[in-house]
């Protein structure tokens, strides 16, 4: 059975996923070795059970991210923080010196060109957490993949070790802050 792999996009810009696509022709090689069971680039509605490896992009910045992180944790054997937002909070966390109210006011009132109003239907919308946090502050994380975004080579290194059945521990050459 091929390893079941998922990728998730939480509080990030999807740049890490774009970088994943930069694997280019190596993607074909990857596709042979794994089964992609969930991803923003695959149309699957619910996060499946019994996932071997999940790559999580983005920080935990709203209530949905937080809830989702716990679901992912329960259903994935190994979780890789994918990129700097998941690892350090990075750009997503730059809002942390302001309160959510200040941020919403700035975005939806002060900078609004038309119809300024703060969205308030939280039955369908996720609510901002007080602070955006890196993934490992919320759930247990097994490996970290640095970079904003991580380069295709870093991703390749991580994916190939994972598919060989190993947890990737990045050598210093693959550490990259930003």
Partner 1 sequence: MGVVTFTMDDVQYSANEGDTILKVARDNGVHIPTLCFLEGLSPVGACRLCLVEIEGSPKLFPACTTKPAEGMIVRTQTERLKKYRKMIVELLASEGNHQCAVCVVNGHCELQDLAYEVGLDHVRFPYLYPAKTLDASHKEFVIDRNRCVLCTRCVRVCHEVEGAHVWDIANRGINCEIIADMNTPWGESDLCTSCGKCVRVCPVGALLEKGATVGELKKERGFVKVIVTARSKHEWITVEDHEEE
Partner 2 sequence: MTIEDLHELAEKERQRQAQYKYRILYCSSAGCVSSGCEAARTALKQALEEHGVAKQCELVGTGCLGMCGEGPLVLVHNDQTLYQRVDATIARKIVEEHILKGNIVREHTIDLNDPFFAEQKKIVLENMGKINAESIEEYIAADGYSALVKVLSGMTPEDVISEIRRSNLRGRGGAGYPTGLKWDIVRKSPSDQKYVVCNADEGDPGAFMDRSVLEGDPHRVLEGMAIAGYAVGANQGYIYVRAEYPLAIERLRLAIKQAERLGILGNRILESNFNFHIDIRIGAGAFVCGEETALIRSIMGRRGRPRPRPPFPSEKGLWDKPTVINNVETFANVPPIIRNGASWFTSIGTQKSPGTKVFALAGKVKRTGLIEVPMGISLRKVVFDIGGGTPDGSTFKAVQTGGPSGGCIPEQHLDLPVDYESLQSVGSIMGSGGMIVMDNTSDMVDVAKFFMEFCMDESCGKCIPCRVGTKHIYMMLDKIVKEEGTEEDFALLQELCVMVKETSLCGLGQSAPNPVLSTIRFFREEYTKKLQPTSCYEGNASTITETNGEQK
d(CA 25, CA 142) in angstroms, rounded, equals 27
- Give residues 34-63 in contact with partner 1 (rule: CB under 8 A): none
- CB under 5 to 8 A by kind: which of partner 2, partner 1, none does 88 bind? partner 1
Alpha helices in 44-165 (DSSP H): 63-75, 84-88, 100-105, 152-163
Considering the complex, state which of residue 35 and residue 137 has its C-beta at the smaller distance from partner 1. Answer: 137
Q: Are 145 and 55 in contact (CB under 8 A)?
A: yes
Which stretch of DSSP H or E encloses residue 82?
Answer: strand 76-82
Considering the complex, state which of residue 17 and residue 146 has its C-beta at the smaller distance from partner 1. Answer: 146
* Residue choice 55, 59, 135, 162 for contact with partner 2 (CB under 8 A): 162
- Give residues 16-75 in contact with partner 2 (rule: CB under 8 A): 49-53, 70, 73-75
- Taking residue 18's Cβ as centre, other Cβ atoms within 10 Å add up to 12
* Residue choice 19, 62, 76, 87 for contact with partner 1 (CB under 8 A): 87
Q: Are strands 128-133 and 76-82 parallel, antiparallel or unpaired?
A: unpaired
Tokens encoding 172: 């210093």
83 binds partner 2 (CB under 8 A): no
Applying CB under 8 A, which residues contact partner 2? 1, 3-4, 49-53, 70, 73-78, 139-140, 161-162, 164-169, 171
């Amino acid at each position: 059975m091929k390893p079941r792999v998922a990728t998730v996009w939480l509080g990030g810009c999807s740049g890490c996923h774009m970088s994943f696509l930069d694997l280019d022709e190596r993607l074909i090689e990857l596709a042979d070795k794994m089964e992609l069971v969930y991803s923003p680039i695959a149309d699957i509605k619910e996060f499946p059970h019994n996932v071997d490896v999940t790559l999580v992009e983005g920080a935990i910045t709203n209530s949905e991210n937080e809830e989702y992180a716990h679901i992912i944790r329960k259903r994935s054997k190994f979780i890789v923080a994918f990129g700097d937002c998941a690892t350090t909070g990075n750009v997503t966390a730059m809002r942390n010196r302001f309160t959510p109210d200040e941020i919403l006011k700035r975005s939806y009132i002060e900078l609004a060109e038309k119809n300024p109003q703060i969205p308030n239907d939280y039955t369908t919308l996720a609510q901002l957490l007080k602070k955006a946090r890196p993934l490992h502050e919320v759930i247990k994380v097994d490996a970290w993949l640095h970079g904003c975004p991580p380069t295709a080579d870093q991703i390749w290194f991580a994916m190939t070790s994972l598919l060989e059945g190993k947890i990737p521990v990045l050598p210093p050459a693959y550490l990259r802050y930003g």
